[in-house]
């Protein structure tokens, strides 16, 4: 019995996405953070953070590496039709979630993981990115997403806030 193309290809894509990490070329870390505040709205009162979700690629041998991160080019900004600004960042590609199949391992991300819905009016969802050319623990918000059956890319914008 043959499998549809997309599920069969996803494990191989995820393994290929770890090559740069194996060569030490992935230098940014990306974490999703959800913060609950005790006040009436986000940012008011005390807060409690849920454990961060580290965004990374996973090889079939269990090797993990940070996901690819780069600043948008001038051409990317101009061709976005005003959606993106100079200084925005692209995080990805990230492989959509797949189950054990061809290479006997499961990995990837769901849309719910990469774009979690706040569970209440006092919940903040933001991203913390570290790496060269960025201030330590740069807080970013998602301003766009590019997705196909084979990948997710998130477009992030710095907020200027501190962790």
- Average pLDDT of the segment spanning 35-60: 86
- Average pLDDT of the segment spanning 5-19: 86
The DSSP code sequence of the chain is -PPPHHHHHHHHHHHHTTHHHHTT----EEEEEEEEESSSSTTSS-EEEPPPEE-EEE-TTS-EEEPPEEEPPHHHHHHTTTSS-TT-EEEEEEPBPB-S-TTS--B-B-HHHHSPPPSSTTEEEEEEEE-TTS-TTEEEEEEEEEE-SS-EEEEEEE-----
User: What does the domain layout of the chain look like in residue ranges?
Assistant: 5-158
- pLDDT category of residue 1 using cuts at 50, 70 and 90: very low
Percent of the chain past pLDDT 70, that is, above it, reads: 91
Tens digits of per-residue pLDDT, 55-74? 999 988 889 999 999 999 99
Tens digits of per-residue pLDDT, 72-114? 999 999 999 999 999 999 999 999 988 766 566 788 898 888 8
Q: Who wins on pLDDT, 123 or 19?
A: 19
- Average pLDDT of the segment spanning 119-130: 85
How far apart (Å, rounded) are the C-alpha atoms in residues 105 and 13?
13
Rg of the chain on CA atoms, in Å: 17
């Amino acid at each position: 019995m043959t499998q549809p193309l997309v599920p069969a290809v996803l494990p191989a894509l995820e393994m290929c996405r770890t090559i740069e990490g194996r060569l030490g070329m992935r230098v940014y870390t990306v974490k999703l953070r959800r913060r609950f505040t005790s006040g009436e709205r986000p940012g008011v009162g005390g807060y409690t953070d849920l454990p961060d979700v580290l965004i990374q690629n996973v090889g079939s041998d269990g090797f993990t590496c940070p996901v690819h991160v780069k600043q948008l080019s001038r051409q990317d900004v101009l061709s976005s039709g005003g959606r993106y600004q100079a200084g925005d960042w692209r995080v990805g590609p990230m492989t959509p979630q797949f189950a054990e199949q061809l290479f006997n391992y499961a990995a990837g991300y769901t849309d719910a993981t990469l774009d979690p819905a706040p569970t209440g009016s006092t919940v903040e969802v933001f991203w913390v990115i570290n790496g060269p050319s960025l201030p330590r623990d740069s807080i970013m918000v998602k301003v766009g997403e590019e997705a196909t059956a084979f990948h997710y890319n998130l477009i992030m914008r710095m907020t200027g806030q501190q962790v």
